[in-house]
Structure 1
Amino acid sequence: MPPHSFADRPAAQPPERGAVDALISQTRRLRGGVDAVRRDTASAEDDPRFRWQRALCDLAVHHLDDLGQQLGQLREGLPPDLVPADAAPDTVVPAPPAGAPSPAERGSLLSRVGSAEWNLLTDEVDWSDELFRIFGRTPEDGPLSLDELPSWLFAEDQGLLTAMVTDCLVDGKPIDGEFRIVRADGSVRTLHMMGEPVLDADGCTASMWAVLRDVSELRRSQRAVRETRDSLQRQRHIAQTERRLAVELQEAVLPPWRGSLRFPQGGQASLDLAAHYLPSGTGALIGGNWYDALHLPDGQTLLSVGDLTGHGVAATSGMAMLLGALRGMAVAGVAPGALMGWLNQLLDASAQPALGSALCCRYDSRSGALSWSQAGHSAPLLFRDGVGRPLPQPDGVLLGATSGASYGQAEEQLAPGDVLVLHTGGLAPSFSDPTGPDGDAAVQRLLALGPRLSAARSAQECVRIVAEEFGETDREDDACVMIARIDA
């Protein structure tokens, strides 16, 4: 049924078909582009960011489908069941173009829009076929009167419908609102109703005409957008909280000293130490990297760096456990090789399995001897007279990789003026093989700094040189570097 018009309303002119066809083509192209974006986000089911993006795409697709349907109806003219009975004999309803989908093929798109008129003078009710499908009724069931309609609504929505109908019939106000209905099969649909009073020649309300649109899928998409946005905000809040906890735990565990640390020991040389933590390129990933220096009861110095796999609180708490065990065994006098074996057993028996790389050194200032062991870690770099080289590496697999692993131990003699560089993986973006200097871009770049590091006057100046070299690198992971300078 076509909408009735007020007496003073000018007759509407049909739009030109070519202009509508152009709009339909543009809508189809845009719909195809949005659908392509939606397919690209379909593979990440567990990521709230992708779920939110996919929900937005679904919502946009529904809008574009509705727009395309409405433009199609505008192009095709009135459906047969809406052609006025008193239409001129030569009125022709345009047929759908060749190849256009039938209403059955378009399915829910056509069935989401229906119209109705309630005649107040004759109590007659006229529904379009689409409206019967929206309510899940057949024409044989008959349309619902204004008195029967509220019984199909949710109890909390009945008052809204009653108020809208009253305002329309009594005060002549247009109807614009939504309510939910429960169909005979138990399904719930959300309808958007827009209507207006139809006046007779005397200006009195003769009937009420309305268009009802099934917006259930549209509202579902909007709810999905809200829910995924809320989920994303919760995930972001959780991530921020976990990162803050990880940072606080890391700061509590790593040595509190900043700048240089000097151990004035009773031997031939003193040890000048400095270290630096380099965050990841985004700054969002807090891993299990550590550096540590500890003056031991026997007069030697413990130097260690390492990295536990993972990020966040789990990685930093695991790092704290591992570093605490390392310090305790070093204070008890356990040699680096045996110490690595115990750390491997500890990590292997941990309730939260993880892998870790580590480097542990004991330096004796009285003899200048350096004893060290490694577990899947890059060897220390020794710089002497402007030339750097990795120390020959003893055997050692990643901590937690295999039970009962044994770890070798190497010895090196250090001399005054030597610079020792210990670092974790992740300094450079292309970190590959931690056990082979030829495969590690970070090692090659560090070796190239040899002349500058040997010429530096303090360990802190050496760290500054390294930080300048790697500090602006777009790292995918965080890293630590510790430098020990042997002073006479």
Structure 2
Amino acid sequence: MPSHVFADHAAAQPPERGTVDALISQTRRLRGEVDAVRRDTATDVGDPAGRWQRALCDLAVHQLNDLDTHFAQLRDGPPGADDETATASTAAEPHEDSLLSRVGSAEWNLLTDEASWSGELYQILGRDPAAPPLSLDELPSLVHTDDQPQLTTMVTDCLIDGKPIDGEFRIMRPDGRVRQVHMMGEPVLASDGSTVSMWAVLRDVSELRRSQRVVRETRDSLQRHHDIARTEHRLAVELQEAVLPPWGGALRLPHGGPGQLDLAAHYLPSSTSSLIGGDWYDAMQLPDGQALLSVGDLTGHGVTVTSGMAMLLGALRGMAVAGSPPGQLMGWLNQLLDATAQPALGSAVCCRYEPATHLLTWSQAGHPAPLLFRDGTGRALTPPQGVLLGATSGATYEQADEQLRPGDLLLLHTDGLVPRSDRETATDLLLSLAPRFTEERTAQDCVRIVVEEYGEAPREDDACLLIARI
């Protein structure tokens, strides 16, 4: 059947590691230079320009710290589903400040009760530049009701205990907009140690905090997606292992009789997807002494497809036990897929083997034909008519008979067993293994040859292999 549908573009990858490492080195070198300037900046209490320069240097160091962290995250990429360390590191909150936004300054003189605001602060707070600046007692009138106690505590700690101010609060602008403001400040002390004024730098960090919130929510969403994907993968694997137990050994047919099939099977996962597909293999003895052999492939990946495969295989077994011939089995499976709540496409081969006569009766639904190996050579059986399961309502499926002999080897497989090959090339490559199959004694040895030959090659889809030796 046709290959499954894949994404038409590759997943986004982190930028070149060397380029980002170079940016990180430049950022750290620049941070060291700015930090040196900050240490050399004048801090005389009577030098407002020096205080302003030091404040700007503090802000620059904060921002460069953030750039360092962000570049590291850019280099390492988003948190992976199985990388708990990366997840833990990226779960940390971003730094307090990230990008330089509008910055304003203010100073409140406690001796003269005068206030001085920069023009940028008027703009941040949405105040008329012609209006007088607000005093410390009046400033809380601009602050959101819930944040007023926080501002009061910061100012009180600064004036009474000499603690630096470093905190955020929301302001209510006259135009009705709510803005997030970050305030940093210090008390200005007289020679006797008393507080004479308080200066502060205020920044509008509304867009920054909004961006950080988006990053945080996106990260959390990504982590939830990884958690869900991990859970779905575990469920799909457990379901597949329950439905497709490892095959190896003899299936004696009929009970107590001389006839038997030497069987072996193998599942090969995709190398490009962590999700389990809908491929299956199966063999069982029927009540009339015959054997049912089948392989199939339901399109898609994940737990939904795996559960659909389990449903299809259970229906196939139940109808086969009731005595339905392969062609009729295909028809009913087609109706079952057509009637499901989530329609899907599938392909399958179904064979009934009569041990007394060595007669194989089989039908197919858009699936690669079984390969028959005999006396050191191999060939593909001529397929009877049959369309994909679920492709059209009311489809009919023909049957074909093949007379087998003791010593024959029958190989059933799904698409993708031979990676990166079209169906004809894949068939030729598998048939070329005929001389090696002749040298082996068991079906399990033949499966090992196929897996050694093609199991390690990159494959875009998962595949199943079932070998029966008469």
Q: Is TM-score (shorter-chain normalized) higher than 0.5?
A: yes
- CA distance in structure 2 between the aligned counterparts of 1:313 and 1:10, rounded to whole angstroms: 66
- Aligned 8 A contact 2:42 2:50 in 1: no
1:229 to 219, 227, 246: 219
2:277 is the counterpart of 1:290:
no
Match of 2:396 in 1: 406
2:358 is the counterpart of 1:358:
no
Matched residue SS, 1:197 = strand
Deviations for 1:134-154, whole angstroms, at most 9, x for unmatched residues? Answer: 111211343222112223223
Question: CA distance change for structure 1 residues 431 and 358 in 2, over 3 Å: closer, same or farther?
Answer: farther
- CA distance in structure 2 between the aligned counterparts of 1:174 and 1:299, rounded to whole angstroms: 89
2:297 is the counterpart of 1:259:
no
Match of 1:457 in 2: 441
Match of 1:193 in 2: 183
Deviations for 1:40-71, whole angstroms, at most 9, x for unmatched residues? Answer: x9xxxxxxxxxx9xx99xx99x94x52xxxxx
Match of 1:343 in 2: 333
1:146 to 136, 155, 158: 136
1:162 to 134, 139, 152: 152
Moved >3 Å (runs of 4+): 7-15, 199-204, 264-269
- CA distance in structure 1 between the aligned counterparts of 2:305 and 2:126, rounded to whole angstroms: 57
Gaps of 5+ in 2: 1-40, 79-86
2:467 is the counterpart of 1:480:
no
Question: CA distance change for structure 1 residues 213 and 429 in 2, over 3 Å: closer, same or farther?
Answer: farther
Equivalent positions of 1:44-193 (< 5 A) are 63=98, 66=100, 109=101, 112-193=102-183
Say how many residue pairs are matched.
Answer: 402
- CA distance in structure 2 between the aligned counterparts of 1:364 and 1:311, rounded to whole angstroms: 35
Matched residue SS, 2:342 = coil
- Aligned 8 A contact 2:346 2:389 in 1: yes
Question: CA distance change for structure 1 residues 428 and 219 in 2, over 3 Å: closer, same or farther?
Answer: farther
Please state how far the C-alpha of 1:327 moved relative to its aligned partner.
1.1
Match of 2:428 in 1: 444
- Aligned 8 A contact 2:419 2:454 in 1: no
Question: CA distance change for structure 1 residues 136 and 356 in 2, over 3 Å: closer, same or farther?
Answer: same
Deviations for 1:75-133, whole angstroms, at most 9, x for unmatched residues? Answer: xxxxxxxxxxxxxxxxxxxxxxxxxxxxxxxxxx4xx2111111112222111111111
Deviations for 1:293-339, whole angstroms, at most 9, x for unmatched residues? Answer: 11112221110000111222211111122111111221122111121
- CA distance in structure 1 between the aligned counterparts of 2:164 and 2:340, rounded to whole angstroms: 70
- CA distance in structure 1 between the aligned counterparts of 2:438 and 2:105, rounded to whole angstroms: 87
Deviations for 1:151-172, whole angstroms, at most 9, x for unmatched residues? Answer: 3223342222222212222233
Please state how far the C-alpha of 1:187 moved relative to its aligned partner.
2.1
TM-score when normalising by structure 1: 0.75
- RMSD between aligned residues: 3.4
Q: Which AA in structure 2 matches 1:206?
A: V
Please state how far the C-alpha of 1:427 moved relative to its aligned partner.
2.0
- CA distance in structure 2 between the aligned counterparts of 1:481 and 1:345, rounded to whole angstroms: 26
2:453 is the counterpart of 1:469:
yes
Match of 1:303 in 2: 293
Matched residue SS, 2:335 = helix
TM-score when normalising by structure 2: 0.77
Question: CA distance change for structure 1 residues 336 and 257 in 2, over 3 Å: closer, same or farther?
Answer: same
Identity of aligned residues (%): 67
Match of 1:389 in 2: 379
- Aligned 8 A contact 2:278 2:300 in 1: yes
1:208 to 195, 198, 211: 198
